[in-house]
Each structure stands twice: as C-alpha cells, then as structure tokens.
Amino acid sequence: SGEKNQSVGPTYNLRYPDVVVWMPDSIGSSNGKASIIEEIETADSVNDSEAEQWKDYGSLGIKFLLIVPRGYCEEALRLIVKYGANVSELWYYLYERDNIKFEKYNR
C-alpha cells in the first residue's frame, strides 16, 4: 500500500523495503541496524522498474532476499543479471490451500 515504516540506507538515499529484520544493539534498545531486508514482488512487479530498486537494495551491504511468485524465478534471475543486482537469496511463494508457502529457489 506504499506505507513506509522503516528505512535503510544513508540518510541522503533512504530505501523502504517490504520487510526489515532489525538487530537491536541490546535488549530493549531502539538503536541497532538492519540485518536482513526483503522485497516481496507480485506477478505484475517482476519487471525492469522494480529490478532497478533491487540493485539499490543489493548495494546497501545488508543481506537482501528477493521473494517472487512461483513461476517467476527465471524472469527475476534474468533481471538480476541485467541490472547487476546483488541479491543474497531468491525465494518464491505459492498458495497451498488457505496458506502461503515460501521456498528458497535452487536452480
């Protein structure tokens, strides 16, 4: 929905990934750093425009997981190579009955 809750990156170039896994400096601390970021795409958003954003996320030096619908991994890989995006892991999701299942893509 475009809601921006947690940013990552330098203040002059903030990014807002879909998921930020945060590692606090200590228990109860509000200070810390992002240890993993994730971007979750839909069938419509596995495209050139989003791939440019993947490149930005991959350049932050944080473990970056890209998650796409099942059946879109090869297209995502093509775009990753085209844009030189540093994606740590590629995952896909699928609907199984009333649940969403996530699996790591292994080529």
The answer to pTM > 0.95 is: no
Note down pLDDT in tens along the chain; length 107 residues: 566 666 676 565 667 788 888 888 888 887 888 889 999 999 999 999 999 999 999 999 999 999 999 999 999 999 999 999 999 999 999 999 999 999 999 97
pLDDT at 54: 96
Sign of the torsion formed by the C-alpha atoms of 56, 46, 68 and 75: negative
**H-helix or E-strand spanning residue 104:** strand 99-104
Give, in order, the Cα–Cα distances in Å from 62 to each of 68, 72, 94, 104: 19, 24, 26, 18
Q: What is the DSSP string of 33-84?
A: EEEEEEEE--GGG-SHHHHHHHHHHHTTSSEEEEEEETT-HHHHHHHHHHHT
